[in-house]
């Protein structure tokens, strides 16, 4: 039973507050007649939750557009959305969130970046609120977003040089600058451990800018990158640790025109290279071969690849990124400049003729 002598009664509801409510009024003066209102039924639905997703994909190249979509599972009306990045994870595994500078996005539930930059690499969450006083949802699921630079100042070197790795082996990751390798730290984000530096990795040791994990476990699956002393983040790489068949694929994006070679590996086989079927985006592209070779890569070859062996099983998927050839870009610019220069004499003659015609018109007597 709820008791209040106020004309309005405010309560922060839980599921136990569901039921029928009415109010009772007793006149303090006059006849002393009391009256009951009609009953109203209060229904309390499950707690609102926000769900964050990314389109078109979480892996981007500098300049690509991307949209973060935040939705509330219980209702889509009346909500205002805010956006945050996961800035750090404390030793007690508590998470710190940092609001984006333009975090309040209104009722649309969309945060769009027209041209992704390296600074947009990070782990994002959202939350929603509505009403007065405001009711706020819990933070949404975490959604990583990774932006690869066209010419990053530092490279993440992985040994062995592949994105998928066997269980219970040693894995080395180094941040190597063109001039030196000082001042860089290897960071990662995994579903098991969250956001952390190499010094916090379980079973890891750091020497200079090199991080060594030994032995590897499936919980080491995640995204790894290099971070400078000033906090800049470069070269994210998705690393998968798997107990069965793995796909040997390049760590870094492949340039158009280069050769792409994929292999299917199994740790307990001798030799470890298997004859297998290879798939792209779920469709079979080559069957029963020890190597899948694409001699001249184009943008159309970009996608998710995996391999499958009839007896040993299939590997996880790996994203193969293809970037444009720099020489082709230079040729395109040269073609434009050549066209402009070729057209210059004709433009000059046209301007001179127009000028002469105008002068002759002005000299013609009326």
Using alpha carbons, select from 49, 109, 101, 46 the residue that is nearest to residue 79: 109
Element (H, E) at 319: strand 318-320
pLDDT in tens, 77-99: 788 899 999 876 665 666 788 88
Question: Could you tell me the pLDDT band of residue 219, with boundaries at 50, 70 and 90?
Answer: very high
Q: Is the pLDDT score of 333 beyond 70?
A: no
pLDDT tens per residue across span 146-186: 888 777 778 899 999 999 999 999 999 999 876 655 678 89
Distance between CA atoms of residues 317 and 315, nearest Å: 6
The better pLDDT of the pair 92, 40 is held by 40
pLDDT of residue 346: 56
The pLDDT tens digits for 51-76 are 999 999 888 888 889 999 999 987 66
Predicted TM-score (pTM) of this structure? 0.68
* Beta pairing, strands 59-61 & 143-148: parallel
Confidence of residue 334 (pLDDT cuts 50, 70, 90): very low
Nearest to 155, CA basis, from 233, 235, 222: 235
Q: What tokens were used for 220?
A: 């080491």
Domains in the chain with CATH codes: 50-148 (2.60.40.10), 154-232 (2.60.40)
pLDDT digits (tens, 9 = 90+) for 221-259: 999 999 888 777 888 899 999 999 999 999 988 999 999
> How do 233-242 and 222-228 pair as beta strands?
antiparallel
First-to-final CA distance of the chain: 103
Contact (CB, 8 A) for 148 and 253: yes
Q: Which of 112, 127, 47, 45 is nearest to 80 (CA)?
A: 127
Q: Taking 90 as the threshold, does the pLDDT of residue 22 lie above it? A: no
pLDDT tens per residue, range 286-297: 999 999 999 999
CB 9: neighbour CB atoms within 10 A? 11
- Hey, is 149 helix, strand or coil? coil
CA 322 from centre of chain: 17
> What is the C-alpha separation between 148 and 118, in angstroms, rounded?
7
Please give the Cα distance from 56 to 96 (Å, whole number).
27
């Amino acid at each position: 039973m709820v008791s209040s002598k106020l004309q309005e009664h405010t309560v922060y509801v839980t599921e136990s507050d569901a039921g029928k409510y009415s109010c009772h009024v007793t006149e303090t003066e006059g006849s002393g007649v009391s009256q009951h209102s009609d009953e109203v039924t209060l229904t309390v639905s499950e707690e609102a939750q926000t769900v964050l997703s990314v389109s078109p994909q979480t892996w981007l190249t500098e300049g690509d557009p991307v949209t973060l979509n935040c939705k509330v599972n219980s209702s889509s009306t009346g909500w205002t959305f805010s956006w945050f990045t996961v800035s750090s994870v404390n030793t007690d595994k508590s998470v710190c969130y940092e609001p984006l500078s333009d975090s309040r996005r209104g009722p649309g539930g969309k945060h769009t970046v027209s041209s992704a930059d390296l600074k947009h690499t990070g782990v994002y969450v959202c939350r929603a609120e509505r009403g007065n006083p405001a009711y706020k949802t819990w933070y949404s699921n975490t959604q990583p977003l990774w932006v690869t630079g066209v010419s990053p100042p530092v490279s993440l070197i992985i040994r062995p040089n592949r994105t998928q790795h066997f269980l219970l082996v040693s894995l080395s990751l180094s941040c190597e600058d063109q001039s030196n390798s000082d001042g860089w730290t290897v960071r990662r984000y995994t579903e098991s451990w969250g956001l952390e530096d190499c010094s916090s990795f379980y079973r890891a040791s750091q020497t200079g800018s090199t991080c060594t994990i030994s032995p590897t476990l499936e919980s080491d699956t995640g995204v790894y990158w290099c971070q400078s002393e000033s906090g800049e983040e470069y070269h994210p790489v998705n690393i998968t640790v798997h107990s069965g068949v793995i796909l040997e694929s390049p760590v870094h994006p492949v340039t158009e025109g280069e050769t792409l070679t994929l292999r299917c590996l199994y740790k307990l086989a001798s030799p470890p290279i298997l004859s297998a079927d290879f798939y792209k985006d779920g469709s079979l592209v080559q069957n029963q071969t020890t190597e899948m070779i694409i001699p001249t890569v184009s943008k159309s070859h970009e996608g998710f690849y995996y391999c499958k062996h009839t007896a040993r099983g299939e590997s996880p998927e790996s994203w193969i990124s293809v970037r444009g050839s720099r020489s082709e870009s230079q040729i395109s610019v040269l073609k434009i400049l050549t066209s402009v220069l070729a057209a210059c004499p004709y433009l000059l003659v046209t301007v001179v003729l127009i000028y002469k015609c105008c002068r002759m018109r002005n000299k013609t007597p009326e």
